[in-house]
Amino acid sequence: MRDKSRSLAEQVRAGDRRALAKAITLVESTRKDHREQAASLLEALMPYSGDSIRVGISGAPGTGKSTFIEVFGNHVIEQGHSVAVLAVDPSSAVTGGSILGDKTRMETLAFAEQAFVRPSPAGKTLGGVTRRTRESMLICEAAGFDVVLVETVGVGQSETAVADMTDMFLLLLSPSGGDELQGIKRGIMELADLVLVNKADGHQAAAAAQTQSDYRSAIHFMKSRFDHWQPPVMTCSALKNKGVEAVWTKVTEFSLALSEKGQLAKLRAQQSKAWMWSETAESLIADLKANPEIKKLVPKLETAVLEGTLPATIAAQRLVESYKKID
């Protein structure tokens, strides 16, 4: 198994796109043998990861995230970089399936030689990112991509997970004409390192300028994540390819400032620690659910919770206590 993982790692590092896609599919798999192989693969690739600018991009449906990422990605490539896009598609709560349409919405970028676009289903993971997005990001870096863009599902309080795995969090907005700051929650705003009002063209140009002014006023009263960085509020038109160059300039300025202040290494170390505990929690829950003894208890406890005869907290405590007693 280690030989297979080592061979796949070498192919990924050599720039083999099929191997890269295969590696990400492997880390996304929940099969036990695949998880073991994925662990060996990540161990082999870890020393070659980390040398990229990681940007998380979030925004409500309709803000033009996919259009912006395509135009932005192509501009970054023109500057001599290689871009990996990890686009997380929403999964159906009923079937668990996803459309995986981001690749079709980024036709130019998807076929660019210096780009790699990978749509993945979000599944049941909160935070707008798939559980394996972090691992996919490391694999892309080991493959030589020096800019990684993570597009998240929609926008909401749970979307903040993207800030725990990227260097910069970019919040994309639509022109709102001053309407109640679009209902964006404070928690999202406080995490934003750059606020970008898209669709600043045609009859929406004036509304975009007003939205920019409103958010500049609002963000002034919020504490930035970093002492040396005041999040700028900018406008652009991805459709008209206007203002995209200025966005890349701000991204590079942010990355340089983070590195010079020694905060990039500190940030990523903290993210790795959070990742460790996140994986620990996920693994423990998976192990608990798979345990035969626990499976016997679940139907009775679930029925009691559904009927309202047992509080969910007590049911959870009983499951955990029973699990702790198992040898």
Sign of CA dihedral 107, 108, 111, 116: negative
* Domain range annotation of the chain: 1-48, 50-260, 273-325
Question: Which one-letter amino acid corresponds to residue 296?
Answer: K
* Mean pLDDT score of the chain: 86
Residue 122: CB atoms within 10 Å: 20
Residue 201 backbone dihedrals phi, psi, to 5 degrees: -150, 165
* Residue 148 DSSP SS3: strand
- Distance between CA 322 and CA 327 in Å, rounded? 10
Rounded to the nearest angstrom, the gap between the alpha carbon of residue 163 and the centroid of all alpha carbons in its chain is 8
Tokens of 150: 């993570």
CATH code, residues 50-260 = 3.40.50.300
pLDDT band per the 50, 70, 90 thresholds, residue 154? low
Question: Is it true that 1-48 and 273-325 share their CATH fold?
Answer: no
The model's pTM is: 0.86
d(CA 248, CA 178): 26
Quick one: average pLDDT of 181-198?
A: 78
Helices (H), ranges, 106-204 = 107-110, 133-142, 186-191
Cβ-proximal residues to 267 (8 Å cutoff; 6+ apart), any chain: 167, 258
Q: Which residues pair with 173 in a beta bridge?
A: 197
Q: What percent of the chain has pLDDT over 70?
A: 85
Question: Distance (Å, rounded) from C-alpha 320 to C-alpha 176?
Answer: 47
In this prediction, residue 129 has a pLDDT band, given cuts at 50, 70 and 90, of low
> Which CATH architecture is the domain 1-48 placed in?
Up-down Bundle (1.20)
Query: E-assigned strands of 221-313?
Result: 233-235
3-state secondary structure of 96: coil
Task: Tell me the per-residue pLDDT of 52-105, one tens digit each, with 9 for 90 and over.
Answer: 999 999 888 888 988 999 999 999 999 999 999 998 765 433 334 444 445 556
CATH value of 273-325 in 1.10.287, 3.40.50, 2.30.30, 2.60.120: 1.10.287
- How far, in Å, CA of 13 to CA of 139, rounded? 9
